[in-house]
Structure 1
């Protein structure tokens, strides 16, 4: 009898050690596989986005750094569900906190001069945490995630994290939204240290998406693009301000551009390539966008 009780206790203990998953929100996204956000008990510092009913085979991995380097993995949940719905697993820095409803229109951008930086303080997340998402996914989701196809993306301070993480040899491409290395060292409010010299450590194609002259990152990001000569660069500028279109349904224009870039870089999709490459590329002919390209294919 004692042995039976001991065995029961051991089984109960093992069961309680199994990772628990909590789904956040309903499936969403315009892709063929509507995606959900999840909190995993074995990944307390992350929020995971993936198709609710994934396709067969392994999916590319996308790492995400939040604006302000905040510890809130649902801060741009509509944008990240959109990416995942096109056949990606996204590991976002930060546990899920407050999620806001999607907007159908953006408020007018605030002038950059109206922005007052908050006092400097320690970042809530880190570059090491961002890259740690690779190790977690490889261990927890080996049958679902292709760790040979990894992109790192981020917004503002999270964009600096993405640029820094882009030096890692496992990364295949980088996207920095409303971000750029500070023109004056130490001129920002983040502890994520990356200098203009560190741009030379990038070894993959990189896309900068900026929000026009009212975007506080406009000058820094534009300067990065002018300096980078050793890897392919795409620069897309649209008048949204620093907040971009993340808060819109499916992430708005930013969602479409992110999916297109990822489909090209990680899935080698020729239709997606035509959005960025060639003299009549999709974004080149869209008057809402100002485009700069360096070392990209001349023909899609």
Structure 2
């Protein structure tokens, strides 16, 4: 396995932030306690999504179905906590991706304040903000004064993130409330002392703390995180794990229309793991798994049907 210099890893993570700005629609509301905006067209799922800032959690950005009346005792929204690339304290790089996922009936709480239209945001984030996201969502579900009262599925929670956000995800993956883990364009360094630019300083021993089914989405050998992510996969033998590679490099497809292929695969995983959608699960189950029908992807799996 070829070892990549840590400095190069950081440079490419930061370079990902120089990609073109994500698209927004012109629908916007800044009145009242929260501001909201529609990303692209609200996604392809059955529940048109919005992005918003909540006055009770201005440190994060929410992506959720616009119409909450469809959710309640019989249909709840699973929770997804999201960490950003480059340890950014803004989800600007992942807006299309997160909006698309949300449109399929998920409540996404992403690290960082909602970015103004066309802006990237600023500052660095911490792994603890993923835990903050979970804590807040659970509290909102129990608060009779919250618009999310009894609408969230607090028993179905994912922690997910890209690049540095993937390391943050792995750092909090031991949280007993977590139902599944999704690590995108990331993996734990083989060299100790990798806490550069606020990146979590983890060792491969952290992988043993994972207690749920886990998905890795990588950008192929051109992805600076490829070697680390594939090594993580090889070392995880105690839980179901699936690793999928698409040759797009470290930046993934997050900024593509509706989040591109990465959004399609991630959404299917969330549907399977958080909603029990067996049809969506066929993408990952079987021999070979359904993803074999898509020539853009190659994959491996362990401890899975």
TM-score tier by shorter-chain length is 0.7 to 0.9
Shift of 1:188: 5.5
Shift of 1:88: 0.6
Matched, 1:240 2:248: yes
Which of 143, 153, 163 pairs up with 2:160?
153
Shift of 1:100: 5.2
Corresponding residue for residue 21 of structure 1: 34
User: Is the CA contact 1:183–1:220 (under 8 Å) kept in the aligned structure 2?
Assistant: yes
In structure 1, C-alpha distance between the alignment counterparts of 2:190 and 2:264, rounded to whole Å: 29
Matched, 1:289 2:297: yes
Shift of 1:98: 5.1
User: Is the CA contact 2:242–2:300 (under 8 Å) kept in the aligned structure 1?
Assistant: yes
Corresponding residue for residue 256 of structure 1: 264
In structure 1, C-alpha distance between the alignment counterparts of 2:152 and 2:187, rounded to whole Å: 29
In structure 1, C-alpha distance between the alignment counterparts of 2:133 and 2:71, rounded to whole Å: 22
In structure 2, C-alpha distance between the alignment counterparts of 1:56 and 1:31, rounded to whole Å: 15
Corresponding residue for residue 59 of structure 2: 45
Corresponding residue for residue 94 of structure 1: 112
Consecutive unaligned residues of structure 1, counting only runs of 5 or more, are 1-18, 102-122
SS at match of 2:156: strand
User: Is the CA contact 1:77–1:99 (under 8 Å) kept in the aligned structure 2?
Assistant: no
In structure 2, C-alpha distance between the alignment counterparts of 1:227 and 1:100, rounded to whole Å: 40
Q: TM-score, normalised by structure 1?
A: 0.82
In structure 2, C-alpha distance between the alignment counterparts of 1:147 and 1:193, rounded to whole Å: 29
In structure 2, C-alpha distance between the alignment counterparts of 1:223 and 1:281, rounded to whole Å: 21
Q: TM-score, normalised by structure 2?
A: 0.81
How many residues are aligned here? Answer: 258
SS at match of 1:283: helix
Aligned residue runs from structure 1 range 45-194, under 5 A: 45-54=59-68, 55-57=70-72, 58-97=76-115, 124-140=124-140, 141-187=148-194, 189=196, 190-194=198-202
User: Is the CA contact 2:162–2:185 (under 8 Å) kept in the aligned structure 1?
Assistant: yes
Shift of 1:30: 0.6
In structure 1, C-alpha distance between the alignment counterparts of 2:201 and 2:191, rounded to whole Å: 12
In structure 1, C-alpha distance between the alignment counterparts of 2:279 and 2:49, rounded to whole Å: 23
Q: What CA deviation, in whole Å up to 9, does each residue of 1:169-210 have, x standing for no partner?
A: 000000000000011112352331221001000000110110
Shift of 1:292: 0.6
Aligned residue runs from structure 1 range 198-277, under 5 A: 198-277=206-285
User: Is the CA contact 2:167–2:199 (under 8 Å) kept in the aligned structure 1?
Assistant: no
User: Is the CA contact 1:261–1:272 (under 8 Å) kept in the aligned structure 2?
Assistant: yes
User: Is the CA contact 1:78–1:246 (under 8 Å) kept in the aligned structure 2?
Assistant: yes
SS at match of 1:290: strand
In structure 2, C-alpha distance between the alignment counterparts of 1:183 and 1:46, rounded to whole Å: 31
Shift of 1:285: 2.7
Relative distance call for 1:100 and 1:231 in structure 2 (3 A) is: farther
User: Is the CA contact 2:194–2:202 (under 8 Å) kept in the aligned structure 1?
Assistant: no
